[in-house]
Amino acid sequence: MGGELWKLDDTQLMAETLAVSAEIHTLQVQRVDLMIAMYERDTVTDHGYRSPAHWLAAATNLEIGECHRIESLARLLRLEPEVRTAYSSGLLDAEKARQIAYFCQHYPRTMNPCDFDKARTILIDHASDKVATKATVRALIHRLEHLYSTGDGPPPGEDTTRNELFVSTTLHGRVVIKGDVDAVTGARLRHLLSPLSAPRPETNGITDDRPASRRNADAFDQLLQYVEAAGLVPVEGGVKPHVTITASITDLTKNAAVKELFAGSPEYRYATEPWAGPLSIDTARMLACDCHVTRILLDEHGVPLAHGRTHRTATTAQRRALAVRDGGCSFPGCSTPPAWADAHHIDHWVDGGDTDLDNLVMLCGHHHRLMHHTEWEVEMTEYRRPQFIPPASVDLFRTPIPGNRPDLVV
């Protein structure tokens, strides 16, 4: 219809929207039916795919997470024909069908078959009401679980034995995290993420425009860094869990003299991490800014020749001094506090840069990545204060911008 929509009056426009929505639902039902058939026939295994979801992600532009949701709904509805019928007829949308089918697979042990049939009918009837939401369906399920609770164990919503967490690597090395945890574990995670995911305070009229999903992701990354830095996780393989980056010295450095000294070393143009796989050199340099560094020299066959000491590039005393001087992330307009910032080398240590205050600047994770992956630059002024130089795409004249300046520092 496209460019002819202007011909429709308001009533026709609404009717056409409803018709398209009904058609989309019909196609979604057909896709679930096809996924059920593929699962029952084990169609894709011989083609080298672990599941229909992985095949669908590889064959389309759908994200792997969306494909897993489609497959999981198909597997649930395959076991619950009554719910499948209600979904196919348009009484239930995908999310409510998933909720009810999951309950039917995990109903309280004390519920007899007759009561179970009644409960399923009640749930379908309630969810079919146009005013019903996922929250109201979940509340009704919770009431049923409480009604049939025996007191000899937690209700399903609080049963930790049902917890699942999947962490899988997808295209481009990105990682999909999918989980189903009990209410208390979920509440614990939400409480830890809440203060980290709050919108940043408005600064100079600039508001935090990150969507909630991005703020949660940034908060989760920050939470992992806190746990890693605190050293609270048990030792594995003789060392505490940590990110390990391996890169050629000729890739990692920009120093011409060092490159000439190691002229025979290979240049792979990427770094590697055991879990993440290949990473860009810019990311490797960023991670090396504020970390423990172990120097290992390899021969042309990749065999270690020498193993250097592990040392920290920025000491605790230096970080305290940076916190006083920069007051947190020093990028103009950023209000990230010192505890959430990294110590960034202005002249990278692999390029011969010293680990002293005049060569260090505090940056939050976002601006740390900005400095390593874009043309932004930072330098020290004659007053030993950081200033930032924008790329020509931002300012053709690349006029330096003073960094943040704590009120108590003169």
pTM of the model: 0.43
- 303 burial (CB, 10 Å; 0-12 / 13-18 / 19+) is exposed
* Conformation bin of residue 351: beta by default, left when phi > 0, alpha when psi is -120 to 50: alpha
**Confidence check: pLDDT of 399 > 70:** yes
pLDDT in tens, 19-70: 999 999 999 999 999 999 998 888 887 776 778 888 888 788 888 788 888 9
Hey, CA dihedral for 328, 329, 334, 337, is it positive or negative? negative
Give residue 237's pLDDT. Answer: 43
How many H helices and E strands in the chain?
Answer: 14, 11
Question: Confidence class of residue 213 from pLDDT cuts 50, 70 and 90?
Answer: confident
Are the C-beta atoms of residues 90 and 19 closer than 8 Å to each other? no
Question: Confidence class of residue 77 from pLDDT cuts 50, 70 and 90?
Answer: very high
Give residue 304's pLDDT. Answer: 47
| Encoded amino acid at 20, one letter | V
d(CA 19, CA 14): 9
DSSP string of 189-220, one letter each residue: HHHHHHHHHSPPPPBTTB-----HHHHHHHHH
Which two three-digit tokens encode residue 140?
A: 């009704």
Are the C-beta atoms of residues 383 and 301 closer than 8 Å to each other? no
Q: DSSP state, 386?
A: E
| Encoded amino acid at 124, one letter | I
**Confidence check: pLDDT of 388 > 70:** yes
Instruction: Give the least confident one: 247-251, 324-328, 366-370.
Output: 247-251
The helix-helix angle for 94-105 and 81-88 (nearest 10°) equals: 170
Give residue 50's pLDDT. Answer: 72
Q: Residue for token digits 């990150």?
A: 210
Question: Confidence class of residue 305 from pLDDT cuts 50, 70 and 90?
Answer: very low
**Confidence check: pLDDT of 140 > 70:** yes
Give residue 124's pLDDT. Answer: 94
Give residue 100's pLDDT. Answer: 94
Give residue 74's pLDDT. Answer: 94
d(CA 97, CA 94): 5
Give residue 96's pLDDT. Answer: 93
Q: Report, as an integer, the average pLDDT of 306-334.
A: 69
Give residue 171's pLDDT. Answer: 67
Give residue 238's pLDDT. Answer: 45
Which two three-digit tokens encode residue 402?
A: 């003073």
Mean pLDDT of the chain: 78
Higher pLDDT pick, 9 / 296: 9
